[in-house]
Amino acid sequence: MASDSPINRPLAGPLTRRLFFALWPSDDLRAALVAHTSEAVQAFRCRPTFANNLHVTLAFLGAVPTARVNELMEIGRSLSVSGCELNFDRLVVWKQARVLALLVSKIPDSLDGFVLELQARLLDAGFHPDNKPYRVHVTLARDVRAGAREEEVATLTWLVSDFVLVESLQSAGGAHYEVIARFA
């Protein structure tokens, strides 16, 4: 067998990367999210989301061929999220998903339009973003053992000025999210 066959050639890196576009909080906002919701998270028997993983997903892509990551960078650079204000004011348990999340009651039109444009550009480029109905939320915990519920909470405001491309990396301790590009 030839030494340059695909079987014998060492791989330069992974063939796919697990990626998504997201809104990514500043360190100050992340600390505020944790402080704002820690009592609620502790009230449930659940697995809290690592503080460094808190975010709002804009488009989940899943496994993307490494060779196509530059295309995603181009899509990100071609868009801009106009400044908007997200007012998180609802705490919800999604029973089927066993998730505790912080939600906004009203999605700003500018963010809704941005997400639709991002999804359209991804589809036009041949990517397959998750097609679940879009809900602006921060996942606070998983494996929640409670029935479905929703309640009002004190409003926490997030001023949006940029978005990111994120890679989900698996380790023995669970998933770790790493920002690989930021777009204004």
- Domain-located, residue 96: no
Q: At what angle are helices 109-124 and 69-78 packed, to 10 degrees?
A: 140
pLDDT at residue 164, as a whole number: 98
- Domain-located, residue 90: no
pLDDT at residue 44, as a whole number: 85
State phi, psi for 162 to the nearest 5 degrees.
-160, 175
Decide: helix, strand or coil at residue 50: coil
- Please count the other Cβ atoms lying within 10 Å of the Cβ belonging to residue 42: 11
**Averaged pLDDT in 10-residue chunks for the chain of 184 residues:** 41 80 96 92 88 97 96 96 92 94 95 95 96 91 89 95 96 90 94
CA 162 from centre of chain: 13
Range of the domain at 72: 16-84+109-138+161-183
- Domain-located, residue 97: no
In CATH, what number is assigned to the domain containing residue 68?
3.90.1140.10
- Domain-located, residue 79: yes
Decide: helix, strand or coil at residue 110: helix
> H or E segment at 71?
helix 69-78
pLDDT at residue 57, as a whole number: 97
Decide: helix, strand or coil at residue 155: strand
pLDDT at residue 17, as a whole number: 96
- Domain-located, residue 179: yes
- Domain-located, residue 7: no
What is the rounded CA–CA span in Å between residue 68 and residue 33? 33
pLDDT at residue 148, as a whole number: 85
pTM beyond 0.85, yes or no? yes
| Cβ–Cβ < 8 Å for 66, 13 | yes
Instruction: Determine whether 1 is exposed, middle or buried from the number of CB atoms within 10 Å of its CB (0-12, 13-18, 19+).
Output: exposed
- Domain-located, residue 50: yes
